[in-house]
Each structure stands twice: as C-alpha cells, then as structure tokens.
Amino acid sequence: MTEDNVHRLWTDEELDEGLILMRPDELASRQPLGEARNTLLNAVRSLEGRDTLVADTNPVTELTRKPGLPAGRRWWLSAAAAAVVVAVGATVAITGGDHGAPSAQSTSSVPAVKFASVQQALDKAADMIHVTGEAPIPAGKFRYTETRGWYLVASKERQFAFLAEELRQTWQPSDFDSEWLLKIGQTGNKQWLVGNEQTATTTEGQNVNEIRQSGEWRARGGQFPEKALIFAGRGAGEWSAPTEQQLADLPRDPQQLYDLMLKDPFLANKPRGGGVLAVAATLLKTGVVPADLKEAVYRAVARIPGLKITAQVANLDGRKGVALGVTPPDGTYRYDIIVDCDTGEFIGERTTEFTPGGDVGIEGIKADTVTSYSSVHTAITDQAGTVPAGN
C-alpha cells in the first residue's frame, strides 16, 4: 500500500463509541448497538461492491463513556458519517509545515477525514483540556517552555532567501512571582529557499543571519524588559507576557474572551498578523496559560469568521496536530495554528505565502511556501537553566 493510498478505518471500539455518543439513549444496550454498527458496516461493504455482509450476531463490547465527552454530542454524527467516506477509498497524505520541507505541498486530492468542522475540532481540544487539566509545577521546580522558531532571512538585491532557526527558552518557577529565566539563541540551522551555503549573505559588512539578537535575561514574575520580549517574538502586554493577576482576570466565557481579543490594538497595527487567531496564539505559546483559560481560548477561536481546517494532520517539527487557519481578503497568505485535539495541547503556528516570490518579492520562492513557523514544548525541570532530558 502506497502513501498515496492510505485508508483511515475506524477500529470496532472507535465505531462503537461513536455510535453510542451519536445516539446515547437508543444505543445504550448491546443489541441495538450491534444492529446499528452492523448496518453501518454493511453499507460500507455495499458501496465497496463486497458481497459478504456482517452477521447480525456480531458481538459488541460494552463501553464505558470517556470522561469529558457528554452524551448527545451531535458532532459524532458527522464523524461517523465521515468514516464511511474514508472506508470506501479516500486518498490521503500527511501534510503541513514539516521541519525539513517548508515548501512541501499536499499530493492528495481528498484530505484525511477526522474532523468535519472547526467547531468539532476545537470542541474536542477544549474537552480534553477540561478533562486532563494542567499539570501544576511542583514546589521548588520550574516549567521549561521551549519554542523553536523559523523565520525568513532574505535579500532581494542579492537574491537569496532561507529560514533561520531561533531557540527561545523560558524557565517559570513554581512561585509565579519569583525569578524567571529567558534565553534566546540562534542555532545556525538554515533551510534554503533561494541560494545555498555558498551564497553571499552579507550586506554592508553585516551578516544578515546575525541581525536577530541572542541573550539571557532574568526577571521576577516573567516581566522581562520589552526589548527581550520583542527579541523573543512576543512583545509586552497581557497576551504575550501576562502577569498572574492578568491571567486570572481574563474572561473564561468564550464570547467575552473573543470580544476582548477582537478589540486588541494589535489587530489595527498589524493587519497582516493573522487577526484574533494570532492574538490567541500569542497567549497560548507563552506556556503559562491555566487549563480553564486554555479551554476558553479554544472555544473563543472557534468563533473566528472564515476559520478553516487547512490540514487534518500537520507535522510541525515532528509533532502532529490539526491545522486551523485564516486567509485575509487579499488572499496572499494563510496563518495557521496547530493543535493536538486528542490532548488539547497547542503545538505551534505557521505562515504560508500563496504568491510566488512571497511577501519579499524574490524570484525563486514558490507559491504555497511556509515562510515562518514555530513549535512549542513544555516540561518540568529541577532548576533554571537546566534543559529536561528529551528536549
């Protein structure tokens, strides 16, 4: 079986659970559930032209409803129907801003069917956060937040363009108001879009790959100097460097939170910045958002007009999730966030330029090229400055 001919089939357990959640009252016992599942499977076999049907006595395993998934979730109806589409031969491919192929394009004609809508995907992510919560920082230890960001370095005059990697590391103490540590460094890793390692990348004696700053800062309560936060791609304010009180004060009602993000001056100052979706991502990538607020953020993001699922499986630095994106009226680019809807974890963000030459107008940059992306990972460590094993 080739990569271009992958069939996403539900297991019996997934199908049974979907049917239970789809019609909880009618399918609570073994026999109606068995009949419903067999009817669905037989419909699939009929569409495939197969003569062998499922016996009416096919055993069904009793299921215990998973926590956080209330009875009667109507979106499971769409998911169950989607299973039929996949079973009869949809062609899928893994897509997204892969670490090693920023300009990779999908080769599939039909995406993998997992979530039928933005609402469904973000409801699932919010539900999972509601169930699992956020692991507290043990006393005396630190939450380590690592962001690997890739940004565009380019010169139209010298005709080169590449993505350069930046590593941003934050250590948050168990006592929020104690001293935090922030480190920013350039790794030297590049992904060439136009040119190669032999291409001259100096302008007036300055290597353009050294324009971005590196450094180390310490501050109580995470209130680093604005210069450091700008270097970290964040900036000051309640979204990018919130205090503990600001986090507590942000509304947990999704509509109120959405309205608050919509009023942020960021949207007026940076019309190409991704709108409310970028404001939400700015908060999520800090790594300090409590579980109840993260849940509200996901439900607020679902209210963004024009938000679409752009990839059912997006690979961002080796981590996979659902990509949800917005495109401005001029249609020149798309801004995505990537979320692991099975855990509720925020994975990262990316920008894809649709116009050949990109925003910088350099011949050789292809349409549909990812020109920036970042991935976020958190873990617990014993002391500031120590990177946990596996990171």
Q: For residue range 152-204, list pLDDT tens digits in order.
A: 988 888 889 999 999 999 999 999 999 999 999 999 899 999 998 888 776 55
Q: Comparing 304 with 77, which gets the higher pLDDT?
A: 304
- The answer to whether position 386 is within a domain reads no
Sorting pLDDT into bands at 50, 70 and 90, what band is 211?
low
Sorting pLDDT into bands at 50, 70 and 90, what band is 258?
very high
**Domain endpoint, select from 73, 91, 109:** 91
Q: How far apart are CA 143 and CA 120, in angstroms?
A: 30
What letter would DSSP give residue 253?
S
**Domain endpoint, select from 42, 67, 91:** 91
Q: How far apart are CA 377 and CA 358, in angstroms?
A: 29
pLDDT of residue 216: 94
Token code pair at residue 354: 């649709």
Instruction: Indicate if 146 and 275 belong to the same structural domain.
Output: yes
Q: Comparing 212 with 131, which gets the higher pLDDT?
A: 131
- The answer to whether position 107 is within a domain reads no
Sorting pLDDT into bands at 50, 70 and 90, what band is 207?
low
Instruction: Indicate if 129 and 210 belong to the same structural domain.
Output: yes
- The answer to whether position 114 is within a domain reads no
pLDDT of residue 336: 97
- The answer to whether position 62 is within a domain reads yes
Q: What are the backbone dihedrals phi and psi of residue 281, each rounded to the nearest 5 degrees, phi first?
A: -65, -35
Radius of gyration of the chain (CA): 23
Q: What are the backbone dihedrals phi and psi of residue 227, each rounded to the nearest 5 degrees, phi first?
A: -60, -45
Total count of domains within the chain: 2
**pLDDT digit string, tens, across residues 318-365:** 899 999 999 988 889 999 999 999 999 999 999 999 999 988 889 899
Cβ neighbours for 25, distance < 8 A, ≥ 6 positions apart? 71
Q: Comparing 219 with 156, which gets the higher pLDDT?
A: 219
Instruction: Indicate if 72 and 142 belong to the same structural domain.
Output: no
Instruction: Indicate if 68 and 152 belong to the same structural domain.
Output: no
Q: What ranges in the chain are assigned the alpha helix state H?
A: 12-22, 30-47, 75-87, 118-132, 226-231, 244-249, 254-262, 265-269, 275-284, 291-301
Instruction: Indicate if 156 and 50 belong to the same structural domain.
Output: no
pLDDT of residue 273: 60
- The answer to whether position 42 is within a domain reads yes
Instruction: Indicate if 267 and 155 belong to the same structural domain.
Output: yes
- The answer to whether position 5 is within a domain reads no
**First vs last Cα of the chain: how many Å apart?**
34
Instruction: Indicate if 253 and 304 belong to the same structural domain.
Output: yes
Instruction: Indicate if 265 and 344 belong to the same structural domain.
Output: yes
**pLDDT digit string, tens, across residues 119-143:** 999 999 999 998 887 789 999 999 9
**Domain endpoint, select from 42, 74, 91:** 91
Buried b (16+ CB within 10 A) or exposed e, 78-97: bbbebbbebbeebbbbbbbb
Instruction: Indicate if 29 and 162 belong to the same structural domain.
Output: no
Average pLDDT, the chain: 75
Q: How far apart are CA 87 and CA 81, in angstroms?
A: 10
Q: Comparing 49 with 151, which gets the higher pLDDT?
A: 151
- The answer to whether position 249 is within a domain reads yes
- The answer to whether position 113 is within a domain reads no
Instruction: Indicate if 159 and 53 belong to the same structural domain.
Output: no
Q: Quote the domain boundaries for residue 61.
A: 12-91
Instruction: Indicate if 214 and 359 belong to the same structural domain.
Output: yes
Q: What are the backbone dihedrals phi and psi of residue 315, each rounded to the nearest 5 degrees, phi first?
A: -105, 115
pLDDT of residue 123: 96
pLDDT of residue 269: 56
Instruction: Indicate if 259 and 372 belong to the same structural domain.
Output: yes
* Entry pTM: 0.69
Residue 5 has pLDDT above 50, yes or no: no
